[in-house]
A and B are shown apart, each in its own frame.
Chain A
Amino acid sequence: MIFNFIFGRKHRRPQSNGVLADLQVGERGIVRELRLDHSIAEHLMNLGFVPGLEVSVERSGPGGDPRVYRVEGTEVALRRELSRYIEVSLVGAAAFGD
């Protein structure tokens, strides 16, 4: 929270389309595209980051990085750096649980 306050990421938030890094804790998005090397994209897809599936930001590690995401039944920790290359479209408002 403090991290977000200091670095003010609110104003960079997209209305509908953006990247995973832009989502805040509790928000959800639909994976659109992985703009990453084939092998990394493949690994992420094996974990569930498949275009069309819903991903939610579960929580952020101490200091704001890495963050823990949930796709279907799997929770995966990714660095912010990597999550900038995962394009998503925002789903609804912030919601906890499913």
Chain B
Amino acid sequence: MTCHPVARPEEENASGVRTVAVIGPPNSGKTTLYNRLTGLRQKVGNFPGVTVEHHIGYVRNASGEEVALVDLPGIYSLNPKSEDERVAVEVLYGKMPGMPRPDAVIVVLNSNNLNTHLVLAGRVIALGLPTLVLLNMADELKRQKGAVDVLALARQLGTPVALVSAITGEGLEAVRNFLSVTSPAPEPLELPVVGSTRSVREWAVRVGETANYRRPATPVWTRRLDNIFLHRIWGPLIFLAVVVAVFQMIFAAGKPLQDILQGWLDTTGAWVGAALPDGMFRSLIINGVWKGVGSVVVFLPQILLLFLVIGILEDSGYLARAAVIADRTMSRVGLNGKSFIPLLSAYACAVPAIMATRTIESKRDRIATILIAPFMTCSARLPVYTMVIAAFIPGRALLGPFLSTRAAAMLGLYVLGFLMAVFTARILKSTILRSKDAPFILEMPPYRWPMPASLGLRLVDRGKAFLYRAGTVIMLVSILLWAATNFPMHNGQPPAIQDSVVASVGHAIEPVIRPLGFDWKIGVGLVTSLAAREVIIATLGTLNGIDAAVNSFDLQTALRHQLTLPAAVALLVFFAFAMQCMSTLAVVRRETNSWTWPAAQFAYMTVVAYISAYAAYHITAYFIS
């Protein structure tokens, strides 16, 4: 491969593989095309210092050589003001650290929207790299009676042009041919690219006219479906049905899958345990590593399910309509409609919800959504709520058979989390994340059938990203927690939990949590629940000498001796607000590509939880006295 002639050998990367950048506007079908070309042979990476992601994939050209394809973010222009576009410009100029200057560029445009999309092509061609312009969605263009003279367009642009369809695979041999020859840089064109968007746009229209471009008609189905999905009565009703279905999917299908996976992990853990000699090493492997890995892996079914549903909604085009319907409500909080689905998913689990914020283009809105998502009552809080409520609140009918006191308490906690999320969003959006520079502007793609292959690749991508990036952090913390519960050793044996480091931590923070009515045992529970909220139940069980899984009733009795009613209310409020979940923190770190946001989030939520729990403690105490 190194013998292959390359235009600029000094800029070739170490492996000698030619690098070709793939660029295109949103809704040009660029990702589908990219996936079609590289398949599973791609990996995801972050550029240093920015939240922008890129993929590097490999494809064989017509001569059978490997070429690296770099997928850049979907952008409309090369305006260095937006982060995505700045990254693309830096990569194309070879200024991005760790990324060689590409040897060539492939520009993917939507052939159904050529006059708009040619603007980007003009700007990219003007950079002077060998360029191939792909007019994607040729199948739709033909079906809707549009047309374009590819040869005339190629003459106008001075670059090769091909009409392709990522869905049918039509015309893709042009890509493999382009990748196998060292194309000359395009002839200097008289592009008004230094001019304003308006003049480039006028140039694009002229080029389109010269190439006899005829814009296709809007698919009649898109109009018909929009008449229903954006109808003033049916629209919101269908939206609600979709919302219930998504919620139901994660709760009703995700939870059992999670339980099955958990059972399987426990069984295999027991096998591995049986194969290892008794001792500290086995304890580290089983209780540290295996449980740590397990706590990550059990989230996979929920994440994959949510991404499957969101992927279908997104690829079909419905997600844009859902955002339009949700926008009016979300605008009252200062957010827009695109935040709705992620926030809804956070009721099941904040981890997939935060990963789902990728559909929000505005960086500020995305961060705001990430920051408030963990306030939504996730499924991991339920066991804690159930246990404490069952222990302290007598089950009485409140509204006949419809609402018991316990259900009302549970509902109250859901409302509490929601209100705090709204409150936080308002504060964020009027201070540090104020975004008058990012109003609600949403392109509405036509409805399309989602492609299973494309959906599948995205699921693999998200699953891998979660396991690798979040998994490493969670595993590290799990091992630290394991060490804290297993040291210091006595006569070569791990200590009883009350003599361990974690107990010392519990004692150490006791003065801090005493004003909330918590003793050191609750303190230990708060520390261990960082692994996952529900772990506090097992911890309190161990500390009280009760197997919580076998006998929750005894634990309830023990809790009643340990906590007063005001302290129990304080504990519930604390769990409603505190960021007791390292999986979420690890995912926030991954998605924001910084430690600052998860650290700030952890600090904010802990302070809010502490103050609210303190207030709850005293208010409850005042009312019962």
Task: List the interface of chain A (C-beta within 8 A of B).
Answer: 1-2, 37, 39-40, 42-48, 50-52, 58-59, 61-63, 65-66, 68, 70, 72-79, 81-82
A-B contact list, 23 entries, CB within 8 Å: A39-B82, A40-B437, A42-B197, A45-B197, A45-B201, A46-B25, A46-B76, A46-B116, A46-B119, A47-B116, A48-B115, A61-B325, A61-B328, A62-B231, A62-B232, A62-B235, A62-B328, A63-B232, A73-B113, A73-B116, A73-B218, A76-B444, A78-B440
Quick check: B116 and A77 within 8 Å, CB to CB?
no
Given contacts A46-B25, A59-B230, A73-B113, 16 further A-B contacts (CB under 8 A): A42-B79, A43-B76, A43-B441, A46-B77, A46-B119, A48-B115, A50-B197, A58-B226, A59-B226, A59-B227, A66-B440, A72-B113, A73-B112, A76-B443, A77-B323, A78-B441
Complex contacts, B439 vs chain A, CB 8 Å = 40, 78-79, 81-82
Q: How far, in angstroms, from A48 to B297 measured CA to CA in the complex?
A: 45
Q: How far, in angstroms, from A65 to B444 measured CA to CA in the complex?
A: 15
> B25, B119, B324: which contacts A77 (Cβ < 8 A)?
B324
Please give me the residue from chain A that is nearest to B215 by CB atom: A73
Q: How far, in angstroms, from A47 to B437 measured CA to CA in the complex?
A: 16
Q: How far, in angstroms, from A32 to B439 measured CA to CA in the complex?
A: 20
Q: Does B331 sit within 8 A of A, measured CB to CB? A: yes
Q: Does B145 sit within 8 A of A, measured CB to CB? A: no
Closest 10 A/B residue pairs (Cβ): A46-B76, A75-B444, A73-B113, A45-B197, A77-B442, A62-B232, A61-B324, A50-B201, A62-B235, A77-B324
Q: Does B149 sit within 8 A of A, measured CB to CB? A: no
Please give me the residue from chain B that is nearest to A43 by CB atom: B441
Q: Does B216 sit within 8 A of A, measured CB to CB? A: yes
Q: How far, in angstroms, from A47 to B76 measured CA to CA in the complex?
A: 8
Q: Does B236 sit within 8 A of A, measured CB to CB? A: yes
Q: Does B198 sit within 8 A of A, measured CB to CB? A: yes
Quick check: A61 and B437 within 8 Å, CB to CB?
no
> B76, B236, B324: which contacts A68 (Cβ < 8 A)?
B324
Q: How far, in angstroms, from A37 to B201 measured CA to CA in the complex?
A: 19
Interface size on B, residues (CB 8 A): 41
Name the residue among A2, A37, A72 with the largest chain B CB count within 10 angstroms.
Answer: A72
Q: Does B327 sit within 8 A of A, measured CB to CB? A: yes
B404-455 CB contacts (< 8 Å) to partner A: 436-437, 439-444
Quick check: A63 and B230 within 8 Å, CB to CB?
no
Q: Does B81 sit within 8 A of A, measured CB to CB? A: yes
Complex contacts, B437 vs chain A, CB 8 Å = 37, 39-40
Name the residue among B119, B226, B439 with the largest chain A CB count within 10 angstroms.
Answer: B439
Complex contacts, A58 vs chain B, CB 8 Å = 226
Task: List the interface of chain B (C-beta within 8 A of A).
Answer: 25, 76-77, 79, 81-82, 112-113, 115-116, 119, 197-198, 201-202, 215-216, 218, 226-227, 230-233, 235-236, 320, 323-325, 327-328, 331, 436-437, 439-444
Complex contacts, B443 vs chain A, CB 8 Å = 47, 74-76
Please give me the residue from chain B that is nearest to A76 by CB atom: B443
The smallest C-beta distance from B621 to any residue of chain A, in angstroms, reads 45
> B77, B202, B215, B328: which contacts A63 (Cβ < 8 A)?
B328
Q: How far, in angstroms, from A66 to B323 measured CA to CA in the complex?
A: 10
Q: How far, in angstroms, from A50 to B197 measured CA to CA in the complex?
A: 8
Name the residue among B25, B197, B215, B436 with the largest chain A CB count within 10 angstroms.
Answer: B197
Please give me the residue from chain A that is nearest to B113 by CB atom: A73
Please judge, given known A-B contacts A61-B328, A75-B444, A82-B441, whether A45 and B215 are in contact too, CB under 8 Å. no
Please judge, given known A-B contacts A50-B198, A76-B441, whether A62 and B115 are in contact too, CB under 8 Å. no
Please give me the residue from chain B that is nearest to A65 by CB atom: B328
Please give me the residue from chain A that is nearest to B442 by CB atom: A77
Quick check: A39 and B325 within 8 Å, CB to CB?
no
Complex contacts, A44 vs chain B, CB 8 Å = 441
Quick check: A48 and B116 within 8 Å, CB to CB?
yes
Quick check: B327 and A66 within 8 Å, CB to CB?
yes
Complex contacts, A52 vs chain B, CB 8 Å = 202
Quick check: A76 and B442 within 8 Å, CB to CB?
yes
Complex contacts, B77 vs chain A, CB 8 Å = 42, 46
Q: How far, in angstroms, from A82 to B82 measured CA to CA in the complex?
A: 20
Complex contacts, A42 vs chain B, CB 8 Å = 77, 79, 81, 197
Complex contacts, B227 vs chain A, CB 8 Å = 59
Complex contacts, A51 vs chain B, CB 8 Å = 198
Complex contacts, A47 vs chain B, CB 8 Å = 76, 116, 441, 443
Complex contacts, B230 vs chain A, CB 8 Å = 59, 61-62, 68
Q: How far, in angstroms, from A46 to B439 measured CA to CA in the complex?
A: 15
Complex contacts, A66 vs chain B, CB 8 Å = 324, 327-328, 440, 442
Please give me the residue from chain A that is nearest to B446 by CB atom: A75
Please give me the residue from chain B that is nearest to A67 by CB atom: B324
The smallest C-beta distance from B24 to any residue of chain A, in angstroms, reads 13
Complex contacts, B218 vs chain A, CB 8 Å = 70, 73, 75
